[in-house]
Amino acid sequence: MRVLNLNGPVYGVCLAGDKDERPTFDQMGMATACLWAARSADSKYKVGCAILSDYSHSLVSIGYNGRYPGCPTEERASLEVGASQFVHAEQNALLRARWEHGESHSLFTTHEPCPECALLILAARHVRRIVLANPYAMPGRPRGSDLLREAGLEVIEWQS
């Protein structure tokens, strides 16, 4: 079994099993999120996101954390929590999404969405399921996964 390792244990995502074994659509979704995380210039967290249609399994959108397009620098503004001035991977994916494949979608992300990204996912009203590879919590703030579950979305922690 081959895995994609992007400088940490979080990215143990199956890309392919035996040569005759086809990856599942969930494996493809998480592998796509990991692939796009590699594009991030962030020195602290490399986060990727992929949104797939639950009906056709088509790729609806991708995103990774980083500066806005055309920004004169790609570097983090600060290593402080919440001060990177990066657009989050989930935000980028939601901004670029083409929702032409119906109402039911799965969002795959390499890290648990922050509370603000969780609210954006809910506001988009197209995602019914979130698959996350790495739990993430900020002290004194609600967990994004808890907000999503409370709103009735299915949240799955990825087991590679």
- In angstroms, the Cα distances linking 70 to 67, 73, 76 are 8, 8, 15
Q: Is 4 exposed, middle or buried (0-12, 13-18, 19+ CB in 10 A)?
A: middle
Given a cut of 90, whether residue 105 has pLDDT beyond it is yes
Given a cut of 80, whether residue 86 has pLDDT beyond it is yes
Given a cut of 70, whether residue 18 has pLDDT beyond it is no
Query: Which residue in this structure is represented by tokens 């399994």?
Result: 57
Give the H or E element holding residue 13: strand 13-16
Residues 155 and 28: their CA atoms lie apart, in Å, by 17
Given a cut of 90, whether residue 83 has pLDDT beyond it is no
CA proximity to 96, closest of 53, 141, 61, 132: 61
At 145, the pLDDT band (50, 70, 90 cuts) reads very high
pLDDT at 46 (0 to 100): 95
Q: Which domains does the chain have, with CATH numbers?
A: 2-157 (3.40.140.10)
pLDDT at 2 (0 to 100): 43
Q: What is the mean pLDDT of residues 33-48?
A: 94
pLDDT at 116 (0 to 100): 95
